[in-house]
Chains A and B, each alone.
Chain A
Amino acid sequence: MLPVILHENDIFGSLLGNLGTISQLLFTVLFIALFFGFGQKLQMRQFLWDIDKGLRKLDMFRNSAKDLTLKTVKEIGKPSTDPGPQINVLMEQFLISPVDMDPAGIVGKIDHLLDVRDAKFKEDVRRIAPGADSSQVMNLENLVEASWALNTIYRIIRHFYLMGKKTNSIFIIIQLQALLPLIIQEAEAYLGAAKAFAEGQPIGDGIGPLVASRLMKDKEKRKVEKDVVVAETMMEDRRVIALKAEGPGGNVGKPGDAIKTIIEENIGKVSMVVMVDAAVKFEGENSGEVSEGIGAAIGGIGTERYKIEQEATLHKIPVYAVIVKESLQEAITPMKKEIMEAGEKVIERIKSLILERSKPGDTIIVAGIGNTIGIGQ
């Protein structure tokens, strides 16, 4: 214990006597210096620590996904050479969107670009994994895409982190720090998706194809358009044409083209189109809740929705949507029980919709939209 004795008469004693005033002044100066001079700097340093931690987590996610991709390609694809360098090339792949200064015809251009990208990606994966069958190639393609997404997220976040550090811009840093928890959540979901794709497990987004496959069970199927299968069934005395992407490989197909073909085959005599899809729920809503509305329920860049809307408008066919609510994470990770169980509720909704909005003998299209990984027909 330090013996502190105050002596009123010597200099040390008088100094200590005035210690209250000195310390008050010191703290005031320190306070002003810290909170006005370095406050922002200190805050930025703290934000940078948070981002740094998040970035290391993202790096871990992308490495896990890449390792999983390599392992799965080696196991399923039986390549003769090391697929690592080719996977690295795929991870850095990009798509240049068409010029939109003159927007007329842009949907066709985007559709063409996506077709080329899809074909190239599939061909590249097939070359890397020669031992995989067509269904496994689809799953591997999805797996590579999930790894690509994680790699891209990491690269973008690292770019803004380094940029913020380099320019000392608190606005870049604050935005990044604020968004990082959401980004990490999304990245974690992509890692879950990668695991599901590696093993071919159905994901939450597959609820549309699951409903369609239940409708087309034990019925004769045929293939229409790119990777889309169709089967006819009867429901409440109506002719129901159910369609979904061809499974069980990871695939979304081109439902827009398929619906167009079916409407043309029936010379426009389709009384309604019912689209079943997974939709992002709001926080606080329950996963697996079923809701219905009007319009084309289909995600993606918008080309397929455009085709459906065009064809429906041309033939004056009403388009109804039945959606199953789920979070973005649930949509790309293995299907939860409550989402799977929502399939029966969706079929009941379709039945009541058909009874209310059509007459016996009518033709109805039911389109199951989404990724059909792990769901056959």
Chain B
Amino acid sequence: MSQPKPRSGSSLVITIVAAVMAVVGLYTIGLALNTPELDPTLQILYITIAVLAFAFVFLSFTRMRRGIRIGAYTPPKVLSVVKCGQCSFKQIKNFSLGDFVFKTLGKCTQCTTGDLSINGIYTEGPPKK
């Protein structure tokens, strides 16, 4: 049985309505400010319509920005710390499939006697904003 999917496309409708409202707002504010000898009552009406239209546009965009802020998941960079059991050799490399903590990787290239093993695996995480 197919599962009902949530409705989509609401943001497109809001964008279109917001665009129309922006045009209406600009037009009425133009009327209010540029019409010579305009009656003050009519001027107030035009300004009211413009304020309402711009308020709608502002609210629509702040709503959208809140949605976008959730953001897409980005996998963190994972690093493996390789250390020698005998000498001070230490290397930090990118994690590769099959790595695990205390996995032996062979002989140390620096002292040639000690065993190299993964001492830790960690992620730095995304940089703090």
Which residue numbers of A lie inside 8 Å of B, CB to CB? 1-2, 4, 6, 16-17, 19-20, 23, 27, 46, 49-50, 52-57, 59, 61, 64, 158, 161-162, 181, 184, 188, 191-192, 195, 199-202, 210, 213, 217, 247-248, 333-337, 339-340, 374-377
Which residue numbers of B lie inside 8 Å of A, CB to CB? 3-8, 10-11, 30-31, 34-35, 38-39, 41-42, 44-45, 48, 63, 67, 70, 73, 75-76, 78, 95, 97-103, 120-125
The CA-CA distance from A324 to B125 in the complex, in Å, is 18
The CA-CA distance from A333 to B84 in the complex, in Å, is 27
* A53, A195, A336, A377: the one within 8 Å of B102 (CB): A377
* A2, A248, A333: the one within 8 Å of B100 (CB): A248
Known interface pairs A59-B5, A334-B76, A374-B121. Does A4 touch B10 (Cβ–Cβ under 8 Å)? Answer: no
Closest to A20 in B: B41
Contact yes or no, A210 B100, CB < 8 A: no
Contact yes or no, A4 B34, CB < 8 A: no
Q: Which of A1, A334, A335 has the most CB of B within 10 A?
A: A334
5 A-B pairs besides A199-B95, A199-B97, A335-B122 with CB distance below 8 A are A17-B41, A49-B10, A248-B103, A337-B125, A375-B102
* A50, A52, A336, A374: the one within 8 Å of B125 (CB): A336
Known interface pairs A19-B42, A52-B10, A375-B101. Does A192 touch B73 (Cβ–Cβ under 8 Å)? Answer: yes
* A191, A200, A248: the one within 8 Å of B73 (CB): A191
Closest to A247 in B: B100
Closest to B98 in A: A200
Closest to B103 in A: A376
The CA-CA distance from A64 to B10 in the complex, in Å, is 23
25 contacting pairs across A/B (C-beta < 8 A)? A1-B30, A4-B31, A4-B35, A4-B42, A16-B39, A19-B42, A20-B41, A23-B45, A27-B48, A49-B10, A52-B6, A56-B6, A57-B70, A192-B73, A199-B78, A199-B95, A200-B98, A201-B121, A202-B121, A217-B102, A333-B76, A334-B123, A336-B125, A337-B125, A340-B122
Contact yes or no, A1 B31, CB < 8 A: yes
Consensus secondary structure, chain B interface: loop
**List of 3 A-B pairs having minimum Cβ-Cβ separation, nearest first:** A248-B100, A376-B102, A20-B41
Which B residues are in CB contact (< 8 Å) with A57? 70
The CA-CA distance from A126 to B63 in the complex, in Å, is 47
Known interface pairs A158-B6, A199-B95, A210-B101. Does A2 touch B41 (Cβ–Cβ under 8 Å)? Answer: no
Contact yes or no, A1 B99, CB < 8 A: no
Contact yes or no, A337 B124, CB < 8 A: yes
B11 to chain A, nearest CB (A): 8
Closest to A184 in B: B70
* B6, B11, B99: the one within 8 Å of A55 (CB): B6
The CA-CA distance from A59 to B7 in the complex, in Å, is 12
Contact yes or no, B70 A200, CB < 8 A: no
B19 to chain A, nearest CB (A): 18
The CA-CA distance from A64 to B102 in the complex, in Å, is 31
B92 to chain A, nearest CB (A): 11
Contact yes or no, A340 B120, CB < 8 A: yes
Which B residues are in CB contact (< 8 Å) with A248? 100-101, 103
A190 to chain B, nearest CB (A): 10
Contact yes or no, B31 A2, CB < 8 A: yes
B24 to chain A, nearest CB (A): 13
Contact yes or no, B34 A1, CB < 8 A: yes
Contact yes or no, A195 B75, CB < 8 A: yes
Known interface pairs A1-B31, A19-B42, A53-B67. Does A337 touch B122 (Cβ–Cβ under 8 Å)? Answer: yes
Which B residues are in CB contact (< 8 Å) with A27? 48
Which B residues are in CB contact (< 8 Å) with A374? 99-101, 121
The CA-CA distance from A4 to B98 in the complex, in Å, is 79
Contact yes or no, A59 B6, CB < 8 A: yes
Contact yes or no, B6 A23, CB < 8 A: no
B98 to chain A, nearest CB (A): 7
A73 to chain B, nearest CB (A): 15
A198 to chain B, nearest CB (A): 9
The CA-CA distance from A195 to B8 in the complex, in Å, is 28
Contact yes or no, B6 A161, CB < 8 A: yes
Which B residues are in CB contact (< 8 Å) with A52? 6-8, 10
